[in-house]
Amino acid sequence: MNGAPLCGSDTDCARHPDMMALVTYIDDLTAAWRRRHGGAPAPSGFPALAARIPDAANGAVIYRQRCAFCHGADGEGRYASGMYYRPALWGPRSFDAHAGMARPATFAAFVHANMPLGSGGTLTEQEAWDLAGFVDGQCRPRTPGC
């Protein structure tokens, strides 16, 4: 979510070898799911939440209480011996401002369904929106003015 384009404007992205490899990998995962689940379509995403107005100040409190242990006090993530451990949520190592997780509705729905790790659903929908409001307000790659 913080990568570089695979091809420029003068290249047919659909025929780029790296893009073809990614599409082949995703198709393989989908086929494996269908084989294991009797042809059922693979799940997509997580349940959307009803729109709410986030309270970023409350999101900061929730972040310190429920998220900072894994994602760092300053959203920097945790990396043991240079290896990924818990992702950065803002700052130079985080997803960029154009990633899906930079959209508050996507972030809130993901957090509500999956966080804290192993305890998805323990945050209320409003808490998830408040976290989205707080995290979305932080600087990350490609954020204007940061």
Digit-coded pLDDT (tens) for 36-68: 889 887 776 788 899 999 999 999 999 999 999
The reported pLDDT for the residue numbered 23 is: 84
Q: CA 65, CA 59: separation in Å to the nearest integer?
A: 10
For residue 95, report the phi and psi dihedrals to the nearest 5 degrees: -60, 155
Question: Does the structure show a pLDDT above 70 at 8?
Answer: no
Lowest mean pLDDT among 15-19, 73-77, 97-101: 15-19
Average pLDDT value for residue range 101-118: 93
Q: CA angle, 129 as apex, 50 and 58 as ends, to 5°? A: 140
What is the spatial distance between Cα 102 and Cα 72, in angstroms, rounded to a whole number?
Answer: 18
Residue that the structure tokens 């985080």 belong to: 94
Cα–Cα distances (Å) from 100 to 41, 60, 111, in that order, read: 22, 21, 13
* pLDDT confidence bin for 33, thresholds 50/70/90: confident
Whole-number Å distance between alpha carbons of 99 and 46: 16
Quick one: which of 12, 33, 14 has its CA closest to 22? 14
* Count of CB atoms situated within 10 Å of the CB of 138: 17
pTM higher than 0.85 for the full model? no
